[in-house]
Chains A and B, each alone.
Chain A
Amino acid sequence: MEHYTSIIIFSVLSLLMIAAAIAAVTSSKIMRATTYLLFVLFGTAGLYFSMFYTFLGATQITVYAGGIVVLFVFVILLIGKGSIDVTHTSKLRYMAGVLASMSGLAITLYIIKTTHFIADKLDPNGVSMRTLGKTIMGTDKYNFVLTFEVLSILLLACMVGAILIARKK
């Protein structure tokens, strides 16, 4: 029984995520769609935990569920009536969407099925905070201090841009 615990948790999590994602793109009430998106994001955090990437899961919950979903709720409440009516699209466009996504999914699944992955590197200890900090802030090979600085400049520019765009004239 203990052998199958992780696979059972994974199946439940993935079924919940797929159901929530389908509900998020088909629900006609936009607030409900946001709530379903929140379920998908929590499920993703669960996947990161199941790969022993605990810091990544914590970041996912903090930034996505705590920041982005709150932004969505804010904009829905600000816009109010204008966002409620999600009118349905035409039948032709609906069928085209189904066809495009299904064919893309079929190609991707075929490629995954025919590719052999050398997958034996999963480490049950996860990544220690010391390793992670040295990787983010280090300057050697396989270290990422330049990316970190570029990301901080990008966040600053986005903050200034968002204030500038949303400001009242």
Chain B
Amino acid sequence: MIIPAEYYLVLSAVLFFIGVFGFFTRRNLVSLLISTELMLNAVDINFAVFNAYCYDHLEGYIFTLFGIGIAAAETAVAIAIIINVYRNMKTIHIKNLRELKD
């Protein structure tokens, strides 16, 4: 039995909004990054599902592939920024990060 495409879409919507909820409520830079990864992951599932079920060519497949690569690059830069923020201000809690310049 083939799983209907809607099931995948519902699952990815639920995952995306769990990520949105985490982005609103977490107060820590690493936790915010984890929520962002959840959202990116849900969008990748959506691309792959639309390509597998509704389309002839490989656009969604390649988009997902490149999206994974871009997520890796984004995480590397974000983690470099977090390490730098921690080195300068000794905290990564959002409440204490009020200034970008020193």
Partner-B contacts on A (CB < 8 A): 3-4, 6-7, 10, 14, 17-18, 21-22, 24-26, 30, 33-34, 37, 40-41, 44, 47-48, 50-53, 56, 59-60, 63-64, 67-68, 71-72, 74-76, 78-79, 82-83, 85-87, 89, 93-94, 96-98, 100-102, 104-105, 108-109, 112-113, 117-123, 127, 131-132, 135-136, 142, 144, 147-148, 151, 154-155, 158-159, 161-163, 165-166
Residues of B within 8 A of A108 (CB): 13, 16-17
Given contacts A25-B22, A78-B83, contact A37 B13 (CB under 8 A): no
B22 touches A56 (CB 8 A): no
A48 touches B34 (CB 8 A): no
B residues 12-43 near A (Cβ < 8 Å) are 13-22, 24-28, 30-31, 33-35, 37-38, 41
Interface of A, secondary structure class, is: helix
B28 touches A4 (CB 8 A): no
Q: Which of A50, A78, A121 interacts with B53 by CB under 8 Å?
A: A121
Interface of B, secondary structure class, is: helix
A86 touches B37 (CB 8 A): no
Enumerate 6 A-B pairs (CB-CB under 8 Å) in ascending A order. A17-B11, A18-B11, A72-B30, A75-B83, A151-B66, A159-B76
B62 touches A144 (CB 8 A): yes
Q: Which of A34, A96, A135, A161 interacts with B77 by CB under 8 Å?
A: A161
Given contacts A18-B15, A75-B30, A122-B2, contact A40 B75 (CB under 8 A): no
Chain B residue with Cβ nearest A135 = B58
Partner-A contacts on B (CB < 8 A): 1-11, 13-22, 24-28, 30-31, 33-35, 37-38, 41, 44-45, 48-49, 52-59, 61-62, 64-66, 68-77, 79-84, 86, 90-93
A166 touches B83 (CB 8 A): yes
Separation of A144 and B59 alpha carbons in the complex (Å): 9
Separation of A45 and B24 alpha carbons in the complex (Å): 27
Q: Which of B13, B38, B57, B65 interacts with A40 by CB under 8 Å?
A: B38
A22 touches B48 (CB 8 A): no
Residues of B within 8 A of A22 (CB): 18
Closest beta carbon of chain B to A48's beta carbon, Å: 6
A37 touches B91 (CB 8 A): no
Closest beta carbon of chain B to A119's beta carbon, Å: 4
Closest beta carbon of chain A to B94's beta carbon, Å: 10
B11 touches A89 (CB 8 A): no
A25 touches B73 (CB 8 A): no
A162 touches B10 (CB 8 A): no
Residues of B within 8 A of A21 (CB): 14-15, 18-19, 38
